[in-house]
Amino acid sequence: MRTVNIHEAKTQLSRLVDQAAKGESFVIAKAGKPLVKVMPLDATATGERKRLGFMAGEIEVPDDFDHMGAAGIERLFSGK
């Protein structure tokens, strides 16, 4: 990801915003220290992780889930 200093960002803001809108996110830094990230509104945050259990209560896992299809798989491996 490209890093630009704050002076460059001020002088080229229009071009940088157009690039960010097309998906080319960038970081604005001051004295070499990153301050902000500019990215399109519809982009997902890069540090965002999908959480386990986000569909809790919406789906149900059968009790025999670990053994579903075991007989068919066994037949395939045994050649019967």
The pLDDT value recorded for residue 34 is 95
What is the Cα–Cα distance from 26 to 74, expressed in whole angstroms?
54
What's the confidence (pLDDT) of residue 49? Answer: 67
Superfamily of domain 2-40+54-78: YefM-like domain (3.40.1620.10)
* pLDDT > 90? residue 47: no
* Residue-level pLDDT at 15: 95
Q: Determine the Cα–Cα distance for residues 17 and 21; give it in Å rounded to an integer.
A: 6
State the average pLDDT over residues 32-50: 79
Supply the mean pLDDT for the chain: 87
Question: Which pLDDT band holds residue 29 (cuts at 50, 70, 90)?
Answer: very high
Reply yes or no on whether the pLDDT at 46 is more than 60. Answer: no
Name the pTM for this structure: 0.53
Sign of CA dihedral 19, 24, 25, 31: negative
Answer for the pair 44, 23: CB distance below 8 angstroms, yes or no: no
Q: In this structure, are residues 20 and 4 in contact, taking their beta carbons and an 8 Å threshold? A: no
